[in-house]
Structures are given as C-alpha cells and as structure tokens.
Amino acid sequence: MTYFSDMKKKVEHIKGKDEVIILGIETSCDETSAAVVRNGREVLGHKIASQIELHKKYGGVVPEIASRKHIEVINPLIDETLDQGGITLKDLDAVAVTNGPGLVGALLVGVATAKALAYGLNIPLIGVHHIEGHISANYIAHQELAPPFISLVVSGGHSHLIWVKDYGQYEILGQTLDDAAGEAYDKIARTLGLGYPGGPIIDKLAKEGDANFVEFPRPNIKEPHYNFSFSGLKTAVINYLHNLDQRGQEYRVEDIAASFQQAVVEVLVNKTIKAAEDIKAKKVVLAGGVAANSALRAQLGQSCQERGIELFYPSPLLCTDNGAMIACAGYYRLMKGDISDLALNAVPGLPLARI
Ligand code: KG4
Ligand code: ZN
C-alpha cells in the first residue's frame, strides 16, 4: 500500500471522530507560523514569528533572507505551538500547509516540514491555497459563519473579490490587474519614508489627516467589472509628491496618507458592494492583511449596514499570515477527502481554481 491510498482510507476514519486535531503551517512570505486547531474552528495553540524587523531596512521582503529565517525558526516554533496547546505529535490527525501562492523558497520550508511530519506520523497531508486560508480566518473569528458569501481578500500580494459558494468552492469575480492594495500601501509608505510595512503606518497617520486634501484617481470605480488596478493611483501619488518637492512646497504627510487611503478604500468598498448586490449576497467577508485597515472596516461596515448586508472580518492578528487559518482551511478540505500526496510541491503562482 502506498502512503496516499493508506491516507485516503484513514480520512474515512478521521471523518467519524468527535475531535479532529490539525497542525497548520504557514511560511509563504515573512511570517513563520504554526497552529493546532480542533474541529476546524477552535485554536488550541498558535505561534507567529514575524520577520518584519529583519526586512525593514530593505523596505520590503528579501526572499532569500525569508527562506533562511523560516528554516531556523520552524521546528522550535512547532514544538512551542504543540506545548501551548497541550498536544503531542501523536495527537495530530493531519498536517495542513500553505503550498502557494507565495515566495518559492519560503513556501518550500513549510511544505518540506509538513511532508516530513505527515510521512513520519503516517497522517494525511493537506496542501492549502493561501487565499483560502485568509478567507478561513473568518471561520475561526466567527463560529457561526458559513458560506455562501462574498469575500474581499486584500493583502500585500492579492486583491480578489471572490464569491464563496460553499466550503472550498470559489468563483473569482475580479482581481487586481497590477499592484495589490497592500503593495500600494507599502510603496507609498516607502516614498514618504515611513518604513515597512506601510499599511499600519498609513492607517494610523490617515486618522490625523484630511481625506479631501487631494482628489487622487479612483481607478476603475465606474467600470462595470470587478477588477482593481492600483498602479496608476500609486504613480499619481508619487508624481504629486515630486511636484510638491520640486516647488519646495510643504505638506502634511497625514493629509497625503488620508487622501491616498480614501481613494483605495472607496474603490474597494464600491466594488465589493456592487458584487454583493449583483449576486444578492447577504454576507460580506473581509480577509488578508489590509482587512485590518480601520477606514476600510468602517466604510464597508457603513455601506453594508445601509443595505442590510452583514459584514465579517477577523481580528488584526488573524488578518495577517498565520497558521490557524491554514489549519481551518485544511479541516474543510480533509472533511471533503481532498488530501495531498507526498509529491506536493510549492507553487509560487498557484491558482485558486477549485470550483
Ligand atoms: O496578508 P498579509 O499579512 O501578507 C500577504 O499575504 O501579503 O498582508 C500584508 C499586507 C502588507 O502590504 C501591509 O502593509 C498590509 O497588509 N496591511 C495593512 C494594514 N495592516 C497590514 N494595510 C492597510 N491598513 C492596515 N491597517
Ligand atoms: Zn497573506
């Protein structure tokens, strides 16, 4: 019997258990994270080791440094996570891991670790799509939440509007044609000399600024599709700042931050509401690092409330990359018998094509 056919049988047994415990591993970018989660929704142990301090001086994530740090951190981090949850390796029913999209070297560390554990413990291995993980963070934050809903996934690498028809059933309605929303935040912050990551810093400064100070472009806002484009907005902000500098004109960074943020948020809110109305969805779910943004939460909350739509978002901790969301997504894959074999690979551009 091969490992994979053994595991296919094992899944049937696991499905009948009252308690299913999954280890989730996430290493797709600059966070090394592991979590043990019971029955998909109850977090028993959770550790996140952020590499932000390491990458700060370069103004963004350096892939090679990220991979090396993941290797250093992953094994002790898993031990600490299990200890925190009062779990031993023998208690694990399955291992779930992000296998894409992301930085290939970073992903490989998680994938290799998960494969070794799954093989060594003779338990199922589940490859998880990173975006599916971000969406699933909401199942942990809101125990009653279930599909169908519209999800706006906005992070450093993604800006997607997705119709989640059921667990694991996704229809991508629109996505960014160039920069992701978080990427635009990070680049504007770098231009303003504010540091990395830019999102939280701009979010904070914007609270003290005038959002109507400059009317930056709202790309695609009136177009009938659901795609985003943030590259032109980014260029407009950078050109505006260069112009002011050339004229020796002073400005308040808070006003630029607030005006830029307002342009991003208006586009995101507009498209999300359009999607929810077109599909007649009653629930909207925010996910990804940018889901922590206070203006996005407030303005989308307001627009949803006016239309009788319920809005869900995770805590800031669960918005960023983490192992708990991967364990949760892995649970729902496992329950459908959708497991991986030991040939599972890191796929930097993995498509979310599991409808
Ligand atoms: O999901 P995440 O941790 O990693 C990726 O999968 O990309 O998202 C990180 C991104 C960064 O671009 C960061 O600037 C942005 O999320 N971000 C924010 C906020 N907090 C994090 N953007 C806007 N407002 C925030 N409060
Ligand atoms: Zn992410």
Burial 196-223 (b: 16+ CB within 10 A, else e): bbbbbbbbebbeebebebbebeebbeee
* 353 is a domain residue: no
Look at residue 60 and tell me whether its pLDDT is greater than 90. Answer: no
Task: Give yes or no for a contact between 175 and 150, defined as CB atoms under 8 angstroms apart.
Answer: no
Name the residues around ion ligand 2, CB cutoff 5 A: 155, 321
Structure tokens at 143: 């125990």
- Predicted confidence (pLDDT) per residue in 299-351, tens digit: 999 999 999 999 999 999 999 999 999 999 999 999 999 999 999 999 999 99
Q: What is the CATH number of the domain that holds 17?
A: 3.30.420.40
What is the number of other CB atoms lying within 10 angstroms of the CB of residue 191?
Answer: 15
What pLDDT shows up at residue 39? 98
Residues 209 and 299 in one domain: yes
DSSP code, position 178: S
Amino acid identity at 96: A
Q: Quick one: average pLDDT of 251-271?
A: 98
* 142 is a domain residue: no
CA of 352 to the centre of ligand 1 (A): 20
* 342 is a domain residue: no
What pLDDT shows up at residue 354? 53
CA of 341 to the centre of ligand 1 (A): 32
- Predicted confidence (pLDDT) per residue in 146-192, tens digit: 999 999 999 998 999 999 999 999 999 999 999 999 999 999 999 99
Ligand at shortest distance from the CA of 203? 1
Q: Measuring from atom 16 of ligand 1, which residue has the nearest CA?
A: 289
- Predicted confidence (pLDDT) per residue in 79-130, tens digit: 999 999 999 999 999 999 999 999 999 999 999 999 999 999 999 999 999 9
Residues 125 and 193 in one domain: no
CA of 56 to the centre of ligand 1 (A): 14
Task: Give yes or no for a contact between 346 and 111, defined as CB atoms under 8 angstroms apart.
Answer: yes
Look at residue 131 and tell me whether its pLDDT is greater than 80. Answer: yes
What pLDDT shows up at residue 169? 95
Task: Give yes or no for a contact between 339 and 22, defined as CB atoms under 8 angstroms apart.
Answer: no
Task: Please state, in angstroms and rounded to a whole number, the distance separating the CA atoms of residues 140 and 291.
Answer: 15
Residues 43 and 157 in one domain: no
Domain count for the chain, please give it. 2
- Predicted confidence (pLDDT) per residue in 224-255, tens digit: 999 999 999 999 999 999 999 999 999 999 99
- Predicted confidence (pLDDT) per residue in 12-57, tens digit: 999 999 999 999 999 999 999 999 999 999 999 999 999 999 998 8
Residues 168 and 63 in one domain: no
CA of 38 to the centre of ligand 1 (A): 27
Residues 307 and 324 in one domain: no
CA angle 82, 85, 156 (to 5 degrees): 75
Residues 307 and 323 in one domain: no
Residues 179 and 198 in one domain: yes
Crossing angle of helices 198-206 and 294-306, rounded to 10°: 70
Its domain, for residue 87, covers: 3-137+319-335
Atom in ligand 1 nearest the alpha carbon of residue 130: 6
What pLDDT shows up at residue 1? 62
Provide CB contacts within 8 A for 322, sequence distance 6+: 26, 31, 33, 35, 46, 48, 137
Residues 132 and 210 in one domain: no
Task: Please state, in angstroms and rounded to a whole number, the distance separating the CA atoms of residues 76 and 245.
Answer: 49
Residue 199: CB within 6 Å of ligand 1?
A: yes
Q: Please provide the distance, in angstroms rounded to a whole number, between the alpha carbons at the two ends of the chain.
A: 30
At 355, the pLDDT band (50, 70, 90 cuts) reads: very low
Contacts 24+ apart (CB under 8 A), 74-77: 74/25, 74/27, 74/32, 74/34, 74/109, 74/110, 74/113, 75/113, 77/32, 77/33, 77/34, 77/47, 77/49
For 94, 127, 155, 227, 320, the CA distances from 28, given in Å and listed in that order, are: 19, 12, 13, 24, 12
* 341 is a domain residue: no
Residues 155 and 288 in one domain: yes
Cis ω before 101 (30° cut-off from 0) = yes
Residue 293: CB within 6 Å of ligand 1?
A: yes
Residues 283 and 186 in one domain: yes
CA of 197 to the centre of ligand 1 (A): 7
Amino acid identity at 255: D
Task: Give yes or no for a contact between 153 and 159, defined as CB atoms under 8 angstroms apart.
Answer: yes
Structure tokens at 344: 């599972």
Residues 291 and 329 in one domain: no
DSSP for 27-78, please give it: -SSSEEEEEEEETTTEEEEEEEEE-HHHHHTTTS--HHHHHHHHHHHHHHHH
Residues 72 and 92 in one domain: yes
Q: Parallel, antiparallel, or unpaired: how do β-strands 42-50 and 310-312 relate?
A: unpaired
* 182 is a domain residue: yes
* 215 is a domain residue: yes
* 221 is a domain residue: yes
Residue 45: CB within 6 Å of ligand 1?
A: no
* 257 is a domain residue: yes
